[in-house]
């Protein structure tokens, strides 16, 4: 049986929205939506909240996640990468418990809107195909990078260049390649990728979600928008 670990990263030092991960959304702390989503999976074996905050840890435990130990403060900074955090956590689990999960499911608290069955559908994309390194939730991008620019020395330079298209920034949007925006809703990878220094590996499969469900809470307006959507659809709720 494949050991599948869900990790919910939730540091305490959010600046855009103070205490963001435990702000109340429709009567429950934000982090509880990701915990509940993991609990409703039929194939996730274990759920761990990775946090540096005792308060967040206590709330996470109340809603059903484990907090076997707190993350060190140096791994809870604005510039701390997922790779650093996950490598440390998996190493600690291996050293302290001899626990070695094969599949890692990251469920960010800041993307709380998930429908029933989505997590297991995404896991199926990797668990049934050893060639696949990771799975990432995506949604159609609202804007195309072919019409984006860098500014250098007060001059515009196209963000993307194409050998197949002449001046794609002057082409109708409908003629440009379809592009996808990665959401924070569901990220799945193999533990061996993390120990090799990458969160994704090379072969990444998409799991497509509806654009209106792809909420990434970073400002108070997006928190209000998430609550509005949660109240209006049949998504997973605590």
- Give the pLDDT confidence score for residue 79 in this predicted structure: 87
List the one residue out of 187, 188, 180 whose CA is nearest residue 211: 180
- Give the pLDDT confidence score for residue 26 in this predicted structure: 95
**Mean pLDDT, the chain, whole residue set:** 95
Domain with CATH 3.90.550.10 in the chain: 4-138+182-232
Q: How confident is the model over 152-193, as pLDDT tens digits?
A: 999 999 999 888 888 999 999 889 999 999 999 999 999 999
Q: Which CATH number is associated with domain 4-138+182-232?
A: 3.90.550.10
- Give the pLDDT confidence score for residue 4 in this predicted structure: 98
Phi then psi for residue 185, to 5 deg, are -70, -50
Q: What is the mean pLDDT of residues 20-33?
A: 96
- Give the pLDDT confidence score for residue 218 in this predicted structure: 86
Q: How confident is the model over 28-87, as pLDDT tens digits?
A: 999 999 999 999 999 999 999 999 999 999 999 999 999 999 999 898 888 899 999 999
> In sequence order, what are the residues at sequence separation of 6 or more whose Cβ sits closer than 8 angstroms to the Cβ of residue 71?
11, 50, 51, 52, 85, 88, 89
């Amino acid at each position: 049986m494949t050991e599948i670990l869900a990790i919910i990263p939730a540091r305490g030092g959010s600046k855009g929205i103070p205490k963001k991960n435990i702000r109340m959304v429709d009567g429950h702390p934000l982090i509880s939506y990701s915990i509940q989503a993991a609990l409703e999976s039929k194939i996730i074996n274990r759920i761990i909240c990775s946090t540096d905050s005792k308060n967040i840890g206590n709330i996470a435990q109340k809603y059903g996640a484990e907090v076997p130990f707190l993350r060190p403060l140096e791994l809870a900074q604005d510039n701390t990468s997922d790779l650093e955090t996950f490598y440390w956590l998996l190493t600690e689990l291996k050293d302290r418990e001899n626990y070695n999960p094969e599949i890692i499911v990251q469920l960010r608290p800041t993307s709380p809107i998930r429908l029933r069955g989505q997590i297991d559908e995404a896991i199926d994309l990797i668990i049934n195909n050893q060639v696949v390194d990771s799975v990432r939730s995506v949604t159609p991008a609202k804007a195309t990078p072919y019409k984006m620019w860098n500014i250098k020395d007060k001059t515009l330079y196209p963000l993307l260049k194409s050998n197949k298209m002449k001046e794609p920034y002057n082409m109708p949007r409908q003629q440009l390649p379809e592009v996808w925006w990665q959401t924070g809703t569901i990220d799945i990878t193999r533990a061996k990728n993390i120990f090799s220094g990458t969160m994704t590996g090379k072969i990444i499969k998409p799991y497509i979600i509806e654009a209106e469900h792809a909420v990434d809470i970073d400002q108070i307006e997006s928190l209000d928008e998430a609550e509005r959507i949660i109240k209006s659809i049949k998504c997973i709720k605590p």
